[in-house]
Amino acid sequence: SMRTGGTSTVYAEFGIHTVGSFCQGGVTSVTGTLNPGASHIDYPPPVDIPDFSCSTNGSTTTDSEGRTIVSPGNHGNLNFQLGADVIFSPGTHCFNNGLTIGNFEDVTADYAKFLFKGGEFRLTGGTLTCNDLMVHVDGGSGISFGGSGKIFCNNVVFFLSSGGVTWNGNPE
């Protein structure tokens, strides 16, 4: 089953397929074919979840334009300044304590892989721009995207071996 709420906009190029019901609530706009009677998927699903990890520690630096550059590797607590421009370099980033994008940060993550071994992937008030991003939650508590965050991404895949997903929306 799937339920939408608030003032969200959902666009699904290849449709929304649910085994149970689809309940469109609030002031929700849905574009795409709805298929609420889809067949169930065997558990575990027949999907090869990529196995990626980090063998070194990541780091942060500041470039000549004042942007925070995050190199691939293991990350502890990443704290960004209010309104910071943050760029995750291409490669694999592993988070032991989650990652929160908030405080009006502008975060870019192109050609990156995010592995959450702990904590949560949260977007609470910033902007995430990404292309070809793969996210795997394996030991973390899941993904939470709040209504005041903005996401502008293409070709993104989410795998959750643990945790859940909360995705709220307020379209512009």
In three-state secondary structure terms, 77 is coil
**Res. 125: pLDDT tops 80:** yes
User: What pLDDT score was predicted for residue 74?
Assistant: 97
Spatial distance between the Cα atoms of 64 and 159, rounded to a whole number of angstroms: 35
DSSP class of 99: E
Determine the pLDDT at residue 1: 63
Q: Cα–chain-centroid distance for residue 28?
A: 21
Q: Using one digit for the tens of pLDDT, what is the confidence trace for 49-72?
A: 888 899 999 999 999 999 999 999
pLDDT in tens, 94-110: 999 999 998 788 999 99
